[in-house]
Amino acid sequence: MSRPNIQLGREGGLKHFLTIDGFSRSLLTDILDTAESFTGVSERTVKKVPLLRGKVICNLFFENSTRTRTTFEVAAKRLSADVLNLNISTSATAKGESLLDTLRNLEAMHVDMFVVRHTDSGAAHFIAQHADPHVSVINAGDGRHAHPTQAMLDMFTIRRHKGEFTGLRVAIVGDVLHSRVARSQILALNTLGTSEVRVIAPRTLLPAEVRTLGVHAFHDLEQGIRDVDVIIMLRLQKERMRGALLPSEHEYFQLYGLTEERLGGAKADAIVMHPGPINRGVEIDSQVADGPRSVILQQVSFGIAVRMAVMSMALGNQAQGAVR
Amino acid sequence: MSRPNIQLGREGGLKHFLTIDGFSRSLLTDILDTAESFTGVSERTVKKVPLLRGKVICNLFFENSTRTRTTFEVAAKRLSADVLNLNISTSATAKGESLLDTLRNLEAMHVDMFVVRHTDSGAAHFIAQHADPHVSVINAGDGRHAHPTQAMLDMFTIRRHKGEFTGLRVAIVGDVLHSRVARSQILALNTLGTSEVRVIAPRTLLPAEVRTLGVHAFHDLEQGIRDVDVIIMLRLQKERMRGALLPSEHEYFQLYGLTEERLGGAKADAIVMHPGPINRGVEIDSQVADGPRSVILQQVSFGIAVRMAVMSMALGNQAQGAVR
Amino acid sequence: MSRPNIQLGREGGLKHFLTIDGFSRSLLTDILDTAESFTGVSERTVKKVPLLRGKVICNLFFENSTRTRTTFEVAAKRLSADVLNLNISTSATAKGESLLDTLRNLEAMHVDMFVVRHTDSGAAHFIAQHADPHVSVINAGDGRHAHPTQAMLDMFTIRRHKGEFTGLRVAIVGDVLHSRVARSQILALNTLGTSEVRVIAPRTLLPAEVRTLGVHAFHDLEQGIRDVDVIIMLRLQKERMRGALLPSEHEYFQLYGLTEERLGGAKADAIVMHPGPINRGVEIDSQVADGPRSVILQQVSFGIAVRMAVMSMALGNQAQGAVR
């Protein structure tokens, strides 16, 4: 690494969390270990730790997502931080203020962390590059680029069920082309030493550069799913149907929808994951989504612990033993 | 009671608060007694008790109501809980996620309580039936069905002013047909042993089954109000005017609006109540609403204490002496 | 002062903060001194003091402003208060409830303070006049009338840089006619003993009564700016362009936009201020806004401390030494 990683602080600890790209296996493992120490907090009677008391965490959402915002809000409050929810599309920019001016103003109020969601790829990087040194930035999804906390909660879920990444065969199924989640998952899986990462999608929904990603591409679901340990279904954005990229929802389900029958081709103890919200009967059958192999709701629970880990590490208040 | 009451926990304590129906006089009295112990909190310098510290209470509003949401938010914060405000109409359902999937996701984040407001009768029941055992559900108004915390704050207000329910004559005036508040009030008044409950309304605004409710129906305000101890005015939904159910607002006020003069027919110490927001000059004259017999604003204050009582009882953190 | 000042409590301390008008130099100085004691809080690891724990502060915004609301929310949370955010245009008034009924309801919930923003001049006064004795009201901007916390943070910024107001020459540049900020600044500057206050604007953007305000009016920027210590640029509301009041944005910038070159006419150590959000290239050049003389972002930081001061003084929990 000749170019210093903007995501790391002076002493090599986590500063921003923008993308999985550039992080070492050991740092990703630190995040998972720190998250492990937080899973207990959600089950206590008093579900709070005072790690971030007095810190102000600002959910800066340029793209509306109640669901994602809520997970960060719950994680922040569990760490005893104060939370500001700002939906920017409806406020400052309406008055013609530039993104940087909005940022500078919030920094001047001594906000400690921005959790950024934006429709443009690179928005969180842009903010981190221009942010004051005392501020941390967490990417909560930027365009088609990355959604690293989602990927890390997926890694956490896999590790909980499978222990090691080495030896695992993981399949990601669906609209890889448009998915920031898939991009982040592939990077994390490879960094953590997963033996084989497969992507399964119609040609129209795979990026041209798919081979450079370190994955095996399949266009047939049954073939791709054979003997895998983990199946990660992607959400199908229904707006893709309008363009020429896809046939009907019905036809998509016929070809790429995960059913009990198809799940039979995977390993007997394979787990099924999905970042949510799920489209029942489009990319996944309800029988599978609600079945014994599904760990979809565990992903949500672990997501709180993983976000607590990332937030507390970035603000330098690591739970004991975290961050080398 | 052959069928177990979904609202009660294993040991007979309050678990959900969905409707007055099925609750014993002693449980309703417990709620009122617990609320009594909380009335002092709002008058302290530090208006907080740590009973629900670390609990997450989620206002799940499918029907917008800043006013009601605010009362629950204030009550929750006074108990030191963390509050999530979710306006569902504008978020998850827009992405096509089902109600149950939304619910499961929030449960997975270890939310402890849902305060539910919905335009459909039965929505809070549905959620309680499908909720995880660790979660409590409070109905903050569902369609035309019930609004039990409103009814309990009304009972609290009556008890504060009149002491006992036995011996009381209470009149409910207005659009009983469409009112979830009236349904809950009638049940509560009867369970608590009120001597006589009257409803006063035009025939078009009384439910067909009015006689089975244990009330005396009147169509004439002056007749119905005679010698009552308590007058509860209902809010007239202005949208009813559009249909054929009602004459004009002006004509409604002529027939059913509460004026000083008409109030003279009630007992000399009768109190006047209204769930708010009031329509001045439609169902109630300003002179009465702001007059010495009106306890409308006390209802709001007591509403905080009653909601604190219900929330803390349902989450098993009763103030001392509460819940048998 | 024959008429008692509604803004002062029984013992002469701050009760409401509605306008600078009527406040003594010593009270304004007390606010600045109290704010001084709070500036350190924002730089601590735990950025909180428990002064207003258990108090409920309600942001009652009839005019949307995420930016201003956020500054009050941050200040309130730093004082450990609970915050309710109510956007009134979209709630109670939609149900036809009057402003006073909304107010009475919130008071009945034992809200301690209203931070009011309204498009009508006088709205905050109206609320303070009708509010319950236990409630304090802070004006966060009412029509064209006043924005006193903005003016006080400006005074704080000037005092930090210049020490004394005596001997200072301050110029306010731009749309004075429509600016509640300018009205409050002029009052504060004069009360604090500023030697000379200038306003610089085209004739169409100066109020007719400009001479009675105790200022010197200039229509030429270069002339007006000569030898000043402080330049306060006002935001140009772009909607003014539509009327006949102003030429184009471009022409405005030619005549009244602050550039590096024009700044050369002021004192060598003159500071440049702006209430934000700035219109780059309309009233101010980016080189100036981001340059070494600009204290625009410091204004935002100091704004938190000043709002903490006003809130804690009004609620009678002054930091030590504050309020005579």
ipTM of the complex: 0.90
CB contact under 8 A, A86 and C73: no
For A209, residues 6+ apart whose C-beta sits below 8 A from its C-beta are none
pLDDT above 50 (res C174)? yes
Contact A62/A118 with Cβ under 8 angstroms? yes
User: Which domains can be identified in chain C, with CATH numbers?
Assistant: 25-146+301-314 (3.40.50.1370), 148-295 (3.40.50.1370)
What pLDDT, on the 0 to 100 scale, is given for residue A78?
96
Least confident of A163-177, A257-271, C91-105, C278-292: C91-105
Q: Which residue has the tokens 């019930």?
A: B146
Beta strand ranges found along chain A (DSSP E)? 56-61, 82-87, 113-118, 136-142, 169-173, 196-200, 216-218, 230-233, 271-273
By DSSP bridging, strand C56-61 and strand C82-87 are parallel
Which amino acid is present at B45? T
Give mean pLDDT, residues B135-157. Answer: 96
Q: What percent of chain A has pLDDT over 70?
A: 91
Question: Which chains would you list as touching C if contact means 3+ CB atom pairs under 8 Å?
Answer: A, B
Which residues of A are marked as active site? 67-68, 95, 117, 147
What pLDDT, on the 0 to 100 scale, is given for residue C241?
62
CB contact under 8 A, C277 and A104: no
Whole-angstrom Cα distance, residue A150 to residue B118? 31
Give mean pLDDT, residues C129-143. Answer: 94
The H-or-E segment that residue B95 falls in is none
What pLDDT, on the 0 to 100 scale, is given for residue A241?
63
Count of C-beta atoms within a 10 Å radius of residue B210: 17
Whole-angstrom Cα distance, residue C166 to residue A65? 52
Burial class, C130, CB count within 10 angstroms (exposed 0-12 / middle 13-18 / buried 19+): middle
Of B152, B263, B283, B59, the C-alpha closest to C96 is B283
Q: CA of C68, closest CA in chain A: separation in Å?
A: 10
Indicate the pLDDT class of residue A12, thresholds 50, 70 and 90.
Answer: confident
Whole-angstrom Cα distance, residue C107 to residue C103? 6
What pLDDT, on the 0 to 100 scale, is given for residue A299?
98
For chain C, say whether B241 makes contact (Cβ under 8 Å).
Answer: no
Give mean pLDDT, residues B178-200. Answer: 97
For chain B, the first-to-last Cα distance in angstroms comes to: 18
pLDDT above 60 (res A75)? yes
Smallest CA–CA distance from A71 into chain B, residue? B109
Of A53, A87, A108, the CB nearest to C300: A108
Structure tokens at C228: 């000043």
Question: Mean of the per-residue pLDDT values for chain B?
Answer: 90
What pLDDT, on the 0 to 100 scale, is given for residue C96?
63
Greater confidence, A2 or C141? Answer: C141
Beta strand ranges found along C103-204 (DSSP E)? 113-118, 136-142, 169-173, 196-200
Of A42, A74, A277, the CB nearest to B101: A277
Q: Please calculate the CA angle A295-A297-A300 and round it to the nearest 5 degrees.
A: 115
- A316 contacts on C by Cβ (under 8 Å): none
Question: Which chains would you list as touching B if contact means 3+ CB atom pairs under 8 Å?
Answer: A, C
Whole-angstrom Cα distance, residue C132 to residue A104? 38
What pLDDT, on the 0 to 100 scale, is given for residue C108?
95
Smallest CA–CA distance from A297 into chain B, residue? B108
What pLDDT, on the 0 to 100 scale, is given for residue B318?
35
Of B55, B95, B109, the CB nearest to A304: B109
Of C54, C96, C101, the CB nearest to B47: C54
Of A84, A92, A109, the CB nearest to C277: A92
Q: CA of C4, closest CA in chain A: separation in Å?
A: 36
CB contact under 8 A, A105 and C277: yes
Of C84, C96, C102, the CB nearest to B238: C96
Indicate the pLDDT class of residue A171, thresholds 50, 70 and 90.
Answer: very high
Q: Which residue has the tokens 């609990």?
A: B55
Q: CA of A73, closest CA in chain C: separation in Å?
A: 16
Give mean pLDDT, residues A33-57. Answer: 92
Which residues of B are marked as active site? 67-68, 95, 117, 147
**What backbone phi and psi angles, to 5 degrees, belong to C46?**
-100, 100
- C54 contacts on B by Cβ (under 8 Å): 44-48
Structure tokens at B214: 């244990």
**pTM flag (> 0.80):** yes
Q: For the packed helices A148-162 and A296-314, what is the interaxial angle rounded to 10 degrees?
A: 120
Give mean pLDDT, residues C232-243. Answer: 79
Q: CA of C59, closest CA in chain B: separation in Å?
A: 12
Is the bond preceding residue A277 a cis peptide, omega within 30 degrees? yes
Contact C260/C288 with Cβ under 8 angstroms? yes
For chain A, say whether B110 makes contact (Cβ under 8 Å).
Answer: yes
Give mean pLDDT, residues C62-68. Answer: 88
The H-or-E segment that residue B63 falls in is none
Smallest CA–CA distance from B75 into chain C, residue? C109
Positive or negative torsion for Cα B89, B90, B95, B97: negative
CB contact under 8 A, B108 and A70: no
Count of C-beta atoms within a 10 Å radius of residue A167: 12
Smallest CA–CA distance from A300 into chain B, residue? B108
Task: Please report, for residues B20, B289, C202, C287, the alpha-carbon distance to residue C254 in angstroms, rounded to integers and kept in the order given.
Answer: 71, 59, 12, 15
Indicate the pLDDT class of residue A244, thresholds 50, 70 and 90.
Answer: low
Of B152, B149, B156, B82, the C-alpha closest to B116 is B149
CB contact under 8 A, C277 and A108: no
Greater confidence, B41 or B147? Answer: B147
Which amino acid is present at C254? Q
A31-51 in b/e burial notation, b at 16+ Cβ within 10 A? bbbbbbbbbebbeeeebbbeb
What pLDDT, on the 0 to 100 scale, is given for residue C95?
56
For A50, residues 6+ apart whose C-beta sits below 8 A from its C-beta are A80
CB contact under 8 A, B297 and C104: yes
Beta strand ranges found along chain B (DSSP E)? 56-61, 82-87, 113-118, 136-142, 169-173, 196-200, 216-218, 230-233, 271-273
pLDDT above 50 (res B1)? no
For chain B, say whether A53 makes contact (Cβ under 8 Å).
Answer: no
For residues A66, A69, A71, A75, the Cα torsion angle rounded to the nearest 10 degrees is -150
Smallest CA–CA distance from B41 into chain C, residue? C54
For C216, residues 6+ apart whose C-beta sits below 8 A from its C-beta are C196, C197, C198, C199
Which amino acid is present at A73? E
Contact A272/A293 with Cβ under 8 angstroms? yes
Of C53, C56, C92, the CB nearest to B66: C92
Which amino acid is present at A289? A
For chain A, say whether C34 makes contact (Cβ under 8 Å).
Answer: no
Q: CA of C17, closest CA in chain B: separation in Å?
A: 21
By DSSP bridging, strand B230-233 and strand B271-273 are parallel
**What backbone phi and psi angles, to 5 degrees, belong to B61?**
-105, 110
Of B158, B157, B307, B141, the C-alpha closest to B237 is B141
Q: Is C117 a catalytic residue?
A: yes
Smallest CA–CA distance from B317 into chain A, residue? A45
Give mean pLDDT, residues B106-113. Answer: 95
- B86 contacts on A by Cβ (under 8 Å): 66, 70
Indicate the pLDDT class of residue B173, thresholds 50, 70 and 90.
Answer: very high
Whole-angstrom Cα distance, residue A193 to residue C37? 53
pLDDT above 90 (res C42)? no
Contact C166/C35 with Cβ under 8 angstroms? no
Contact C241/C248 with Cβ under 8 angstroms? yes
pLDDT above 80 (res C167)? yes
CB contact under 8 A, B46 and C56: no
Q: Is A176 left (phi over 0), alpha (psi -120 to 50) or beta?
A: alpha
- B278 contacts on C by Cβ (under 8 Å): 97, 101
- B70 contacts on C by Cβ (under 8 Å): 84, 86, 106, 109
